Structure 1
Amino acid sequence: MMRLTRLLLCALFGLFLFSITMPGIVPAEENPPTEPEPIKIDRKGGKPTIPDVPRDEVIGFALYTLHNHVLKMSVQFYPLEENESRDVVLEVDSGNGWKKITTARVDENGLATFRLQNWNDSRRYPYRLSHAGGSEYTGVIRENPIDKEEIVVAGFTGNSNSDRSPRTDVVENIKKLDPDLLFFSGDQSYDHKEHTAAWLLFGRQFGEIIKDRPTITIPDDHDVGQGNLWGEGGKVSHLPGGADGGYIMSAEYVNMVQKAQASHLPDPYDPTPIEQDISVYYTNLNWGDIDFAVIEDRKWKTGPAGLIPKQGPRPDHINNPNYDPTTVDVPEARLLGSRQLKFLHEWGQDWDQAEMKVVLSQTIFGGGAHIHGKSDSRLLADLDSNGWPQAGRARALEEIRRCFGFHLAGDQHLATVIHHGVHSWEDSGFSFCVPSIVNYYGRWWWPLEEPEGRLEGNDLPFAGQFYDGFRNKLTMHAYANPTSENFNAAGFGIVRFNKKSRQITMECWPRHVDVEDPDAKQFEGWPIVIQQEDNYARKPLGWLPELQFENATNPVVQVVDEYLDEIVYTIRINGNSWQPPVFREATYTIRFKSDGKTKSVEHIESLPLDQRDAEPLKIRF
């Protein structure tokens, strides 16, 4: 008994020391909330159908992006009859009436695609799509908002088939907020074998906002016909749930889905197909001088079945109370795969026309939920989350933080803002997982253990530093659990990137509110504001001399560890002076770039923490 008392006192004293030595961290509250209440689901689904449209309404909707003066557009048609034309005409109005630009062919799945080079992105153009049967579809191709101080992105996920009604409230709010870019992170369709019907419904639901602004749509597991996806490089899955890795549906079906949802994205970084000749789409989009990397979380991810011991009712759910997280971090497991890691590394170091870096993907790199589906269904770990495999997660976060990148994603049904840690708390970037558009499968962030430390000034009971089910370090800043008042916690996210201040503001809006109503409230805990440099918040062990630029503003700075021959990070600084932090005593090369001019200095010794005020380094291009 005395031994137990001593251990308890030591633990409490350790927590006290932790709380007073970590800035912004306070002890955990003593009485956390009770278990969550059950939620009620009112489903309004049914099998998707393709309506019989008049022949002068066969153009369903269009999606486009504009990157590096290349316009790409996809046009989804309702089924054409045998005797109808397969051509669609694109026209634009430059101020002197409609002018034909080009014609595209509609394929067997009702999709037509355009790719136009040397597009003038300095002004906006009304566009018109027309078909010989009389169908027309109009929208606006926007100018590149490089002169805007703040670039606004709207994020969506999980357009569940439990409710096929119009999304009028979301559409009207997006019109009022007028974002520069839309991002749909996946599960636009939950109809595993009926993608075209569900995709046309998606166009009817969101056509009013996607026609007038660049839109990124990427497919996730439900889009390609399975409940969870571990793509494992394109192999064929032989288990009903796909946990052995690979695809359940045919490669033809998967490619059809990917073409419908992603053919309007900028050209892939490396278009080489994976196994079964399945296409890839990972790429980047620079819009308004914010550089977005679009990655495919699950395409190379390893399936757990046959790789790690089954420790729950199914291969991907762990609820063994004696489970050791280190046993599932096996060296054979992959997350993003070597091709995408190479892409992230090269993209992260290229700062031409880029003020800030953002990663867009299906889901976040951590286990952001404890309760799944029902309020009494608790999991120790979910292998579908990108908290697993832990080594793959670490490699992904290390590449993203190398460019101070912010991460926007979805899939989890549960909105969260997490500051990730790899080796220490908050040593990596922030992620914002947006809430589902429709959410009939609730998830809760509801840890049973006390936090390692709480966030000062944050009133949410489960905010603070926690380990997820894989022993990954997560600092939870906000979460939107289902409640009896808001039983599905559905909504959408807004992220504002301020290029002048380098602030990133995250907003999380529930469904069925009017964002212009003075009394309208976001989910509790939002908005959240961070700085660009918070996305590599690793505690420095030293400094390099302060950099003072005599004839340059906002130059790019790259720090290279000379012994390791490794880039530590690259960033476009804000202003004309900055002091680079470093994370070990070493000798460094610092490279600079501004207005196409480059310069470098070598063999710079790091300064101890207490000698930060050493002689500055003056740089002139």
Structure 2
Amino acid sequence: MKSKLIAIAICLTLSLSIQGQHLLELPKNIKPEDRICFALYTVHENTVKLNAQFYPIKNFEPFEAYLEIQENEKWIIKDTAAIQYPGYTALFRLENWDDTKEKKYRVVHNDKAFYEGIIRKNPIHKDEFVLAALTCNSIYPEHGGDIPRTDIIDNIKKIQPDLLFFSGDQVYDHSQHYLYWLKFGRDFGDVIRNTPTICIVDDHDVGQGNIWGNGGIKSEDRRGVLGGYYMPVEYIKEVERAQTSHLPDPYDPTPIAQGIGVYYTDLNWGGISFAILEDRKFKSGPGRIFKHKGKVIDAIFDPKVNTKDFDDPKAFLLGERQLQFLGDWTTDWKNAEMKTVLSQTIFAMANNYTGKHNREIFADFDSNGWPQSGRNRALKAIRKSFSPMIGGDQHLGSLLHHGVDDWNDAGYSFCTPAIANYWLRWWDPKEAGANSVKGEPGYTGEFLDGFQNKITVKAVANPSLEEINQGGKLSTRVAGFGLVKYNKPDRTITFECWPRNIDITNPKSKQYKGWPITISQFDNFNPRNYFELPTFQLSKDNQVVTVRNNTTGELESSVRTKGKLYQPKTLKSGSYKIEIGENDAEKKYFEVFATKKNKKKITVEF
């Protein structure tokens, strides 16, 4: 027990005693009225979860706080929460929340500190839902130092998105997470205090350059190629408590190895259902799967190596638990018109130069292009819900259309550019892509990535020589943020990729080359080789149609239709069971066959 407390103190609390070589120091002489640094919240199925982050509690100050809601111009205490040590967070929960109204909240500590914000009303009746997506918040001094985030904050305030998504690497320091997490909150607090926010944990957040979580096992070194977590387990738990405890309750809260928790879950907001994945937590360590020339490796730079040989069907990406979650989530369309999958990074290796543009990389095992079989299982599960995918980590903004057995038979993914981009990457193939759009750059079109996965590149924000040499290391260099706009009546999704240091409301401000790009929701599972089921003429608009293989019972797809007419597609011929509707009492069932050209029509009355 003593060693456990020492580990906590060393990793978190005692890191406040800054040595001269460190960049950050705790703000000096924090007054009792400034004890609350920031707060994150979500609203899901009429439940508010709000996590307040405190500066260190001093002397005899209380280790509890209150959450108050303003009602009829009076502040009413709605919940009390203990301030957890050593991370100084307080998690509040309000159930039976009326999400049809906007409410002011405040966190109160010691009747001296008051932190105010707004819990937004559910934007379910808005025709357009806007998600702002950000990743990779480096402030290393050797990366160019800290630069203001005011340009991003100002643009987010002008946009007023319905939801914020931080996909990981909110903190880059590998031993003083608490200090840099406070800095993250000070930088972004003015927007997250008033906006529901999804925040997930990536490798740098838990003190590693790369991570293959391998189900939570202990890693003996920070390189982590054998899989697992290097930092003390108390450190990992505190990081996840600070960054993710405000998310909706996990699908299955069973801890993994070392007692590390999980947070993969879904959030339904504004008519959009989001699956929140932990794509690195269960991922196999490559060093446990293979050795290359007798060595444990994390990258291949030799063009003669056949990277397909590194695949192993037994290697995990999402793991069985998260695949089961995706299956259940796919068929749950309550109050949802469209769906999206959020992850730490995308399911491909969408770069072939890393660090410098002088040595081609042919396999990066940190990317979700490996393991290929695990990647394909994930994409097959995700496409069943017609979901696009949004992630970060790669620093290189990209929009891809994924393929499993054929090009473009799975969904689109959007990797947002880094908030601060020190480690550069490029997608710059030597030969132009196949079937690219006329007039588009040669790096677009159909390719095999480094692991020989099928990808169609739609747009990439490659660094230019001018951007590399211009300005500070973090202020230019194709840094930025992403916007995803869902047009619910049209069922379209528009991806926008914006640079730093611009005014997004200025008509002269331009996105990165290739953006914006708009797709249909149904493009996320629209294979070019398919079989047709009958056309269903529905008596009610926008019904949920679920397709299962009649022999195996396997789920094929599930979607809310656009209008009254819908013809499902399948990848194989045969017999299928169709389920139409949401209320069990009203559901209609049909057994039908998939053929190449199916002209049969079925009328469905509700």
1:494, 1:188 → 2: CA distance? 18
For 2:307, give the aligned amino acid. Answer: P
Q: How far did residue 91 of structure 1 move?
A: 1.1
Stretch moving more, 58-67 or 131-140: 131-140
2:400, 2:461 → 1: CA distance? 12
* Corresponding position of 2:454: 473
Count of residue pairs brought into register by the alignment: 572
2:61, 2:128 → 1: CA distance? 45
8 Å CA contact 1:560–1:589 kept in 2: the answer is: yes
* Corresponding position of 1:32: none
Pick closer, same or farther for the CA change 1:166–1:240 going to 2, 3 Å. Answer: same
1:468-495 residue CA offsets vs partner (Å, 9 max, x unmatched) = 0110001000000112333311000000
* Corresponding position of 1:222: 204
SS at 1:158 equivalent: coil
1:49-76 residue CA offsets vs partner (Å, 9 max, x unmatched) = 2212222111000000000011000000
1:558-617 residue CA offsets vs partner (Å, 9 max, x unmatched) = 1122123222101100001111122222122111014665433333122332xx4x2410
* Corresponding position of 2:572: 584
8 Å CA contact 2:198–2:247 kept in 1: the answer is: yes
Matched, 1:50 2:26: yes
8 Å CA contact 2:431–2:442 kept in 1: the answer is: no
8 Å CA contact 2:41–2:50 kept in 1: the answer is: yes
Pick closer, same or farther for the CA change 1:311–1:431 going to 2, 3 Å. Answer: farther
Stretch moving more, 298-307 or 312-321: 312-321
For 1:464, give the aligned amino acid. Answer: G
1:135-165 residue CA offsets vs partner (Å, 9 max, x unmatched) = 2111100011111111100000000023333
Stretch moving more, 146-155 or 591-600: 591-600
SS at 1:284 equivalent: strand
1:218-258 residue CA offsets vs partner (Å, 9 max, x unmatched) = 11000001000000001111234000100000111000000
For 1:216, give the aligned amino acid. Answer: I
* Corresponding position of 1:607: 595
8 Å CA contact 1:90–1:100 kept in 2: the answer is: yes
* Corresponding position of 2:115: 137
Alignment of 1:522-601 (within 5 A): 522-550=511-539, 552-594=540-582, 597-601=585-589
8 Å CA contact 2:46–2:99 kept in 1: the answer is: yes
* Corresponding position of 1:486: 467
8 Å CA contact 1:539–1:583 kept in 2: the answer is: no
8 Å CA contact 1:540–1:582 kept in 2: the answer is: no
Q: How far did residue 314 of structure 1 move?
A: 6.6
* Corresponding position of 2:12: none
8 Å CA contact 2:227–2:288 kept in 1: the answer is: no
* Corresponding position of 1:22: none
Pick closer, same or farther for the CA change 1:330–1:606 going to 2, 3 Å. Answer: closer
For 1:50, give the aligned amino acid. Answer: L
Stretch moving more, 76-85 or 125-134: 125-134
1:449, 1:387 → 2: CA distance? 20
Q: How far did residue 417 of structure 1 move?
A: 0.2
SS at 1:338 equivalent: helix
1:438-497 residue CA offsets vs partner (Å, 9 max, x unmatched) = 01000001112442x132245223000010011000100000011233331100000001
1:534-563 residue CA offsets vs partner (Å, 9 max, x unmatched) = 00021243212211012x110000112212
2:38, 2:572 → 1: CA distance? 53
Matched, 1:513 2:490: no
Matched, 1:320 2:302: yes
* Corresponding position of 1:19: none
1:387-446 residue CA offsets vs partner (Å, 9 max, x unmatched) = 000000000000000111110100000000000000000000000000000010000011
Matched, 1:113 2:91: yes
For 2:488, give the aligned amino acid. Answer: K
Unaligned runs of 5+ in 2: 1-20, 469-476
For 1:105, give the aligned amino acid. Answer: A
2:507, 2:524 → 1: CA distance? 32
Alignment of 1:431-446 (within 5 A): 431-446=413-428
Q: How far did residue 349 of structure 1 move?
A: 1.2
Structure 2 residue corresponding to 1:156, chosen from 126, 134, 137: 134
Give aligned-pair identity as a percent.
Answer: 46
Matched, 1:616 2:598: no
8 Å CA contact 2:535–2:601 kept in 1: the answer is: yes
8 Å CA contact 2:574–2:595 kept in 1: the answer is: no
Matched, 1:147 2:147: no
SS at 1:518 equivalent: coil
Structure 2 residue corresponding to 1:95, chosen from 41, 63, 72: 72
1:128, 1:596 → 2: CA distance? 41
SS at 1:100 equivalent: strand
For 1:351, give the aligned amino acid. Answer: W
Stretch moving more, 208-217 or 592-601: 592-601
SS at 2:328 equivalent: helix
* Corresponding position of 1:73: 50
Pick closer, same or farther for the CA change 1:220–1:128 going to 2, 3 Å. Answer: same
* Corresponding position of 2:474: none
Calculate the TM-score normalised by the size of structure 1. Answer: 0.90
1:542, 1:306 → 2: CA distance? 40
1:164, 1:73 → 2: CA distance? 28
2:263, 2:444 → 1: CA distance? 36
Matched, 1:257 2:239: yes
8 Å CA contact 2:396–2:416 kept in 1: the answer is: yes
Structure 1 residue corresponding to 2:404, chosen from 419, 422, 427: 422
2:310, 2:595 → 1: CA distance? 40
Alignment of 1:324-363 (within 5 A): 324-363=306-345
Pick closer, same or farther for the CA change 1:598–1:390 going to 2, 3 Å. Answer: farther
Stretch moving more, 490-499 or 538-547: 538-547
For 2:298, give the aligned amino acid. Answer: D
1:438, 1:134 → 2: CA distance? 36
Stretch moving more, 465-474 or 581-590: 581-590
* Corresponding position of 1:6: none
1:374, 1:72 → 2: CA distance? 43
8 Å CA contact 1:192–1:225 kept in 2: the answer is: yes
1:562, 1:214 → 2: CA distance? 41
SS at 1:305 equivalent: helix
Pick closer, same or farther for the CA change 1:597–1:478 going to 2, 3 Å. Answer: farther
Over the aligned positions, Cα root-mean-square deviation in angstroms equals 1.6
For 1:49, give the aligned amino acid. Answer: E
8 Å CA contact 1:312–1:319 kept in 2: the answer is: no
For 1:214, give the aligned amino acid. Answer: P
Q: How far did residue 100 of structure 1 move?
A: 1.7
For 1:580, give the aligned amino acid. Answer: P
1:458, 1:410 → 2: CA distance? 28
8 Å CA contact 1:491–1:511 kept in 2: the answer is: yes
SS at 1:223 equivalent: helix
Pick closer, same or farther for the CA change 1:212–1:457 going to 2, 3 Å. Answer: farther
SS at 1:128 equivalent: strand
2:562, 2:288 → 1: CA distance? 49
Unaligned runs of 5+ in 1: 1-44
SS at 1:252 equivalent: helix
Calculate the TM-score normalised by the size of structure 2. Answer: 0.92
Structure 1 residue corresponding to 2:357, chosen from 372, 375, 381: 375
8 Å CA contact 1:589–1:600 kept in 2: the answer is: no
Matched, 1:464 2:452: no
Q: How far did residue 311 of structure 1 move?
A: 6.2
